[in-house]
Structure 1
Amino acid sequence: MRSARLPGSPRGRRPMLIEGVASVFLETDSSGDRVRPGAFAASLSHAPAIPMLWRHQSGALAGVWSKLRETGKGLEVRGLIDREKPYGRLALKHVGTGLNGLSIGFRPRRWRMRPDGGRDLIEVDLVEVSLVRNPMANSARFRVVGEMGRRVA
């Protein structure tokens, strides 16, 4: 069975496949924001490819998200960390030491203030999803599925 590779990715240096939940619906993050179900729907329906960044740094591409979708739990993501990109290699080094956090970069379109001072985000424009050590939403995590073409048991 042949496996797909990212352009420029030699054999033996396959991208690492990860998946997780980048935003858990109704979980209050450390800034007081809480994302409502459906908040990403409009953005995902018309957005161009959403970049996988290293720690929200503009231009610090670590890989590519192949799937982003809303589920009952939140914004589920699946993607490839690219060993050929400098920030991809950096991310993989940190994955080896326990990095497993995800964080969304977004622009709020509609929100409601809560009595406790936090925001309920009703609609957002998703700009990017980053690999981070300490996500704002504690449950926003990923796991390694395997290398492209190879699954972790």
Structure 2
Amino acid sequence: MTTTKETGNCFEFDVKAIAEDGTFTGYASLFGVTDLGGDSVQPGAFTKSLKAKPAAKVKMLRGHDSSEPIGIWTSIVEDSRGLKATGHLILETVKGRETYALLKAGALDGLSIGYRTKKESFDQTKKVRLLSELELHEISVVTFPMLPTATISRVKSTDFSRLVAAINRATAALH
């Protein structure tokens, strides 16, 4: 068992669906898929962590940088495929708006988990570390995903263009 913070199991976003209010749903980890770091998260690995920590307490960061919170997770669940997360970018913040714009443009397109390994084993034949219990600390939006096989499945929409117009009017009024 390790006690250091680890990051991995990154996934690409489907940026075609990025909508205007910053709410999105996707997979932060897929079960049984080996990432480029040689780790494979096993079904049920997040069960204890999700019982102990509600979604809103799992931080939404940019690039695993604890000084870069960009939103909140509203739902995180394990299903048969992996760790499914629904979150909301806080568009009233500079970093939330920047992240939204970068996602929309396709400059950012990944998710990555920050966790502590609680139980693991090693498959000598496949040379893969099998992660069977993880303590989830954060899910980040990242530039370079390690495992580009999961995508965001849905992004909700509101009129972000009105918010941008209001910000632009307020900024112009200050000058």
8 Å contact from structure 1 (residues 103, 132) kept in 2: yes
Give unpaired runs (5+ residues) of structure 2: 1-19, 161-175
Q: What SS does structure 2 have at the residue aligned with 1:147? A: coil
TM-score (norm 2): 0.72
Instruction: Name 1:114's counterpart in structure 2.
Output: 123
Say whether 1:135 aligns with 2:145: yes
Q: Larger Rg: 1 or 2?
A: 2
AA aligned to 1:110 is: K
8 Å contact from structure 1 (residues 63, 85) kept in 2: no
TM-score (norm 1): 0.82
8 Å contact from structure 2 (residues 72, 90) kept in 1: yes
Instruction: Name 1:65's counterpart in structure 2.
Output: 73
Say whether 1:28 aligns with 2:34: yes
Give the C-alpha shift of residue 114 in structure 1.
1.6
Q: What is the percentage of aligned positions where both structures have the same residue?
A: 35
Q: Distance in 2 between matches of 1:102 and 1:43?
A: 19
Report how many aligned residue pairs link the two structures. Answer: 137
Instruction: Name 2:113's counterpart in structure 1.
Output: 104
Q: Distance in 1 between matches of 2:102 and 2:159?
A: 22
Higher relative helix content: 2
Say whether 1:42 aligns with 2:48: yes
Give unpaired runs (5+ residues) of structure 1: 1-13
Counterpart of 1:86 (choices 81, 91, 94) is: 94
Give the C-alpha shift of residue 134 in structure 1.
2.0
Q: Distance in 2 between matches of 1:81 and 1:119?
A: 32
Give the C-alpha shift of residue 147 in structure 1.
3.0
Q: What SS does structure 1 have at the residue aligned with 2:28? A: strand
Q: Distance in 2 between matches of 1:86 and 1:45?
A: 32
4+ aligned runs moved over 4 Å, structure 1 = none
Q: Distance in 1 between matches of 2:74 and 2:50?
A: 13
8 Å contact from structure 1 (residues 102, 142) kept in 2: no
Instruction: Name 1:54's counterpart in structure 2.
Output: 62
Give the C-alpha shift of residue 27 in structure 1.
0.6
Q: Relative to structure 1, is the Cα distance of residues 149 and 94 closer, same or farther in structure 2, using a 3 angstrom cutoff? A: closer
Q: Relative to structure 1, is the Cα distance of residues 85 and 146 closer, same or farther in structure 2, using a 3 angstrom cutoff? A: same
8 Å contact from structure 1 (residues 51, 64) kept in 2: yes
AA aligned to 1:26 is: G
Of the structure 1 ranges 37-46 and 108-117, higher mean CA displacement relative to structure 2 is found in: 108-117
